[in-house]
C-alpha cells in the first residue's frame, strides 16, 4: 500500500477551531494535503478531512495565537486559522 508520506502531527488548541478544537492535523508530502483528524475520548478516529494545499508540507507548528503554520518544500510559509479551515 502506498504511503501518504506523513511529515508532522500536531494537536490544535482547545478553543478557537470550532469542532476541530483539540483535534489533530497531519501534514503530508506525497498527497500535498493537510489531514484534519477528529478523535474521541478513547483516541479512536471519528472523522477525517483532507484540505488540498497543492504543496509538499514539510513542517507544522501551532503558534501561541492558535494559528497553524505550515512550511513547504518550495519555501512557502502558510498561516492557517479556523476561518480558513
pLDDT in tens, the chain (85 residues): 578 899 999 999 999 999 999 999 999 999 999 999 999 999 999 999 999 999 999 999 999 999 999 999 999 999 998 764 4
Q: Going by C-beta distance under 8 Å and a sequence separation of 6 or more, which residues neighbour residue 18?
A: 82
pLDDT value, residue 85: 43
Beta bridge partners, 33, equal 52
Q: Please answer whether residues 34 and 80 qualify as being in contact, where contact means their C-beta atoms are separated by less than 8 angstroms.
A: yes
Output the pLDDT for position 34.
97
Amino acid at each position: 500500500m502506498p504511503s501518504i508520506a506523513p511529515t508532522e502531527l500536531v494537536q490544535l488548541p482547545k478553543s478557537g477551531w470550532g469542532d476541530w478544537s483539540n483535534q489533530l492535523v497531519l501534514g503530508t508530502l506525497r498527497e500535498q494535503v493537510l489531514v484534519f483528524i477528529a478523535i474521541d475520548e478513547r483516541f479512536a478516529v471519528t472523522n477525517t478531512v483532507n484540505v488540498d494545499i497543492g504543496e509538499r508540507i514539510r513542517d507544522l507548528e501551532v503558534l501561541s495565537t492558535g494559528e497553524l503554520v505550515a512550511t513547504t518544500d518550495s519555501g512557502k510559509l502558510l498561516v492557517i486559522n479556523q476561518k480558513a479551515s
